[in-house]
Amino acid sequence: MKFPSISLVALAASIISPVVVVAQSNIVFKIDGSDVSIPLSGQTSYDSNQDERMRRPLVVSADGRSVTVEGNTHRALPLTPALTIKASTTMELDVTIGDIQEAQALCIDENTGHSPSRCFVFAHTQDLSSSWHVLEPQTPEGETRHYSIPIGHYFWGVNKYNYLAYMQDNDSNDRDSGSMTIANIQISDGAEYFIEQDGIRHYVNTAEQKSIGSGQDSWQYGLKVSDDGKSMQVQGNMHRAVPLDTAVTIDVNTQLDFDFTLEDLRDLHALCFADSTLNKNKCLVAGKQEHWSNVFYLSPQTQQGESHHYSLPIGLLYQGTFDHIMFIQDNDSGCRSCGDATYANVKLSQIVHPELDIMVNGVVQKIKASTAVSARDDQDTKTNFLEFPTSVSVTMIGNTHKALTITEPFTIDKATELDFDFTVTDFADHHTICIVTDPTNIASYKSTSGGKRCFTVAGPQTVSWDVDMSPKTQLGETRHYNIPIGRWHPGGTAYYLVFVQDSDAGNKLPGESTFSNIEFSQRPDLVLNINGVDTGVFNHQLSYGSRQDFSDNLVDVSDDGKTASMYGNLWKAFELPTPVTITDDTVLSFTLDVEQELEIVSICFDEDLSDQVHARCLKLSGYQTRDFGTLIYKGIKQTYEGETKEYMIRLKEFYTGTFQYIALQHDNDATDRYTGISHISDISLHEIEPSCLTGATFNFNLNECTIDGFVAGVQSSMASVGACAGKDAWRELLSLWDGQSDSDVRKRIQDICVSGNAGETVSFDMLLDSEKQFVEEFFDGGNKWNYEVDEAGGPDLATNAARITYADEKFDDKTAISLPHVHNFEGCELRAAMCCYVAARDADSEPTDNSDACYMEFKNSQESSHVRDGYSIYPDDSEGAFACHGFVWGNDSGYADAAFKGNTLFDVALLNGLMSNKEVEELPGAPMCGCVEHMPVVSRADCTKTTVTQTISVSFKPVTQFFAETSITSVAHEDCGDLTTHYGQLVTDGKATATEALKLKRHLVGDGQCGNALYDFLETKGFIYPGSGVSSTQAKK
């Protein structure tokens, strides 16, 4: 066998002096720099069958450092003490071959039985077996060579080697032939291999290396230590344990770092820590071609020709005290001499593991990363460790099933929610988070007993033990999840968080994802005020009704429990802590805010979870107009998009009895189940009692007789009524008037306010001293006031319409004028009206061109156009000079702009439009004046608003109850700029809704927007308007 690793130098034969034979009795050589003498008197035959009874003496130089062997000689000299050989032990010597023979060698052996594996051959002519260490290059006859032989690479042991043997084999011919001189022998130990722990070196003793495993180790291959002691090279099939001078301790905070180089990949390459049992279950595999069980596979695996630095929290894999380090290079199926790997810079150190901050019911809880363990040994790749890029993030790389111990276990119940942000960088089969409530069985995260404990947010694989969340996170995305885990989780005390990134096919490397900002919280109780006591209703939301509920959507209860917000389609019931009894005197109160309209919004009290058995649900909002089933809708006011309304409903009109559930229906299953938004707040049930106002006397004044102002006045006055202290004015008024709902109360207040204005109001017909037909024709753009043209000697408006001037002087600034009872002003749902003119009474003038007509749809004003349907369009300002002027009013008839809207119409249409500006006549098919819903679609309109100085005195007496009287000081009109802009101010003031403002913009579309409006309109008729390429709908998209 040849060993190319041997260092040697050829020397000229002349540099070694001729041997001088003297009576030297000792052979001298150096061990670790010190001279050692071996008495020749102790020499003995090395293989007595070969040495011919030692008939040929060794020839020793005068200094004892050179020994010449002549002829056939096998001679051994005892070493006292026996020689210890380590992996780093080297023997240096000079060899001169004077006469080459069959085999010329020097041996270091345990005994004199001659083992070729202990011999180093310098020259030979005979074929030798592979057991011999044949040095390369061989020394030719007549030459001298210097050899440096790493004998520790071939054999080793402590005080094991007892003999130094000189061998010159020549037993086949002339046994006296052959000459070899060996000189200047030096045996020395190089650096010993060491590892570091916390900066302290722990040396191994390679002289005591041991084979491990039954028949696994190829003993003839030795470990090789680098000159600096930092690297250990393993060549050939090897299962080798080496003791440490002092044991190392690995605890949960221990980190391992090392460098690994793989020159020749074989079955398996591993570094291990072991105790005296030399068990292989603590091995770290850095490269492999076959799979073993009960070992740890590092990631990534090193491939042939590669080097890797590994850094891992080894204390999370195992702990203990270890007095051996082991090197495994398994290659027992083929070329046992093959395989080459180096382990360098092995260091153990203490680290501080990070902590993962999670929120539990509003409190930060720190979870120690040091508690990470495999959730299932058969699923987890143990060396794929959790990483913590920030204090609130945990990252999984590769196949991972890891559990973290929850520092302070907490309760999961039906109201528990889990929030987190999730990012997927590289897909695995599935990415999942689990909560384990069994303190003795982490692997129960896969159990489906009683429910499911795991929630999957990414990955294509479907498994039976999780809940697939929707939508899943796609590659490169970050998505926030709010999961009502109590719906599926069986509940209990949470002891472990389990993170799963399943990638167990192939090399188990794919997959990288991060969970961040993990928060567990309890959905707040829904708070009902029952007879004055706030009562918490546990937030376990049950599906209500016959397969109508969309389980993905839940009622969102505010932190104080008083507002239930609903998003998208849901039918949810809450079980009351104790059943409630609804009697003839029970009143249900709440506030409803409809943010985005949907099919149905209703509130219910029910004995069970079926909506089909009894009529228990009250419809409050929604555009669905049929197929209500058992839904109660008659007699209940409706709330529309953008509106907020307060409700008081005396339930005896609909049902009485004892009820176990409160339910909310938010029906929107015809289209997108995620659309539709509404909020119900301040839900209360109370028993109506005799009103405290009975027998009271009080009065108050108002500037505007609005419903809210009136109720506020009553509430303020109640403070002086002893029996009313601390009571609610709405409830007392409902009781006083024996109303069935707040609508009854509102109607009574409006009647009181109207009666207060009765003596100060004049009708429009009386104002003009004209019949209804004349008034109606005027606002349609007809009668003589519109058709006549003022000219010299002809009609004179000042004379013909003198009644207008008279009415202005007599009524407009001191009396409320009602709107005319004509079709033009019926159905003003947006509470906006305007007049639009296309002509002037003066022959040589035309209306002020302040607007553009877009189109007129005749069905909106059939009584004016006298046709059932049809339309006219006005592209590119084709209508000519066109003037529009309008006004708006608030959503309570008691507002001054509402109560005096007839005054505003008188000012806009008669005083200014007709008398001052001489503007007349209508756009064909349209009325001249009317609610905007009946008027043409235009770009804009000027605006007039009315302000009133008045006092409404309200008194209450036991017999007459409420009495109102109005005193008007002044009524004034002023310019308010642009009509749409002014409507926005009404929204700001709470007198109109944002939804109504958007609807108004369908009638007043804005400057330069007629093209888009025409595009949208004609599209509904099946035409494409060529004047605009983009519809307003498309523009919004």
880: Cα separation from own chain's centroid: 59
526 touches 557 (CB < 8 A): yes
Say what the pLDDT of residue 5 is: 39
Say what the pLDDT of residue 1027 is: 65
The dihedral over CA atoms of 811, 812, 818, 822, expressed in degrees to the nearest 10, equals: 100
Band (673; pLDDT cuts 50, 70, 90): confident
544 touches 572 (CB < 8 A): yes
Structure tokens of 292?
A: 């073993």
What DSSP line would sit under 806-858, residue for residue? Answer: HHIIIIITTSEEPPP-SGGGS--TT-EEEEEESEESBTT--------EEEEEG
Q: Which of 942, 1002, 1014, 951 is nearest to 974 (CA)?
A: 942
Structure tokens of 165?
A: 């043997």
Q: Which amino acid is present at 866?
A: H
Tell me the pLDDT tens digit for each residue of 247-302. Answer: 999 999 999 999 999 999 999 999 999 999 999 999 999 999 999 999 999 989 99
923 touches 936 (CB < 8 A): yes
Q: Which of 189, 89, 182 is nearest to 144 (CA)?
A: 182
Cα separation of 790 and 813, whole Å? 28
Instruction: Report whether pLDDT(1035) > 50.
Output: no
Say what the pLDDT of residue 508 is: 65
Say what the pLDDT of residue 1034 is: 37
Tell me the pLDDT tens digit for each residue of 754-782. Answer: 998 866 788 888 887 777 888 999 999 99
Say what the pLDDT of residue 799 is: 82
Lowest mean pLDDT among 95-109, 256-270, 758-772, 894-908: 758-772
Classify residue 403 as left (phi > 0), alpha (psi -120 to 50) or beta: beta
Instruction: Report whether pLDDT(538) > 70.
Output: yes
303 touches 229 (CB < 8 A): no
Cα separation of 199 and 514, whole Å? 34
Tell me the pLDDT tens digit for each residue of 1006-1015. Answer: 999 999 999 9
More confident site: 621 or 759: 621
Cβ atoms within 10 Å of 844's Cβ, excluding its own:
7
Say what the pLDDT of residue 166 is: 97
Band (1031; pLDDT cuts 50, 70, 90): very low
Sheet containing 119-124: give its strands across.
2-3, 133-135, 119-124, 103-109, 157-169, 73-85, 44-45
981: part of which helix (H) or strand (E)? helix 979-988
Tell me the pLDDT tens digit for each residue of 319-335. Answer: 999 999 999 999 987 78
Phi, psi of 121 (to 5 degrees): -95, 125
From residue 514, how far is each of 223, 358, 420, 501, 977 by CA, in Å?
43, 14, 10, 10, 56
Tell me the pLDDT tens digit for each residue of 23-46. Answer: 468 999 999 999 999 999 999 999
Tell me the pLDDT tens digit for each residue of 632-657. Answer: 988 899 999 989 999 999 999 999 99
686 touches 531 (CB < 8 A): yes
Band (112; pLDDT cuts 50, 70, 90): very high
Instruction: Report whether pLDDT(614) > 90.
Output: no
More confident site: 384 or 795: 384
882 touches 853 (CB < 8 A): yes
Q: Which of 697, 619, 705 is nearest to 665 (CA)?
A: 619
SS (H, E, C) 135-201: ECCCCCCCCEEEEEECHHHCCCEEEEEEEEEEEEECCCCCCCCCEEEEEEEEEEECCCCEEEECCEE
Cα separation of 202 and 196, whole Å? 6
966-986 average pLDDT score: 96
Cα separation of 684 and 526, whole Å? 11
Whether the upstream peptide bond of residue 471 has omega within 30° of 0, thus cis, is yes
182-209 average pLDDT score: 96
According to DSSP, the residues that pair with 872 across neighbouring strands are: 856
Say what the pLDDT of residue 15 is: 33
Report the relative pairing of strands 533-537 and 373-374 from DSSP bridges. Answer: unpaired
Band (1; pLDDT cuts 50, 70, 90): very low
The answer to whether the Cα torsion of 16, 18, 20, 26 is positive or negative is positive
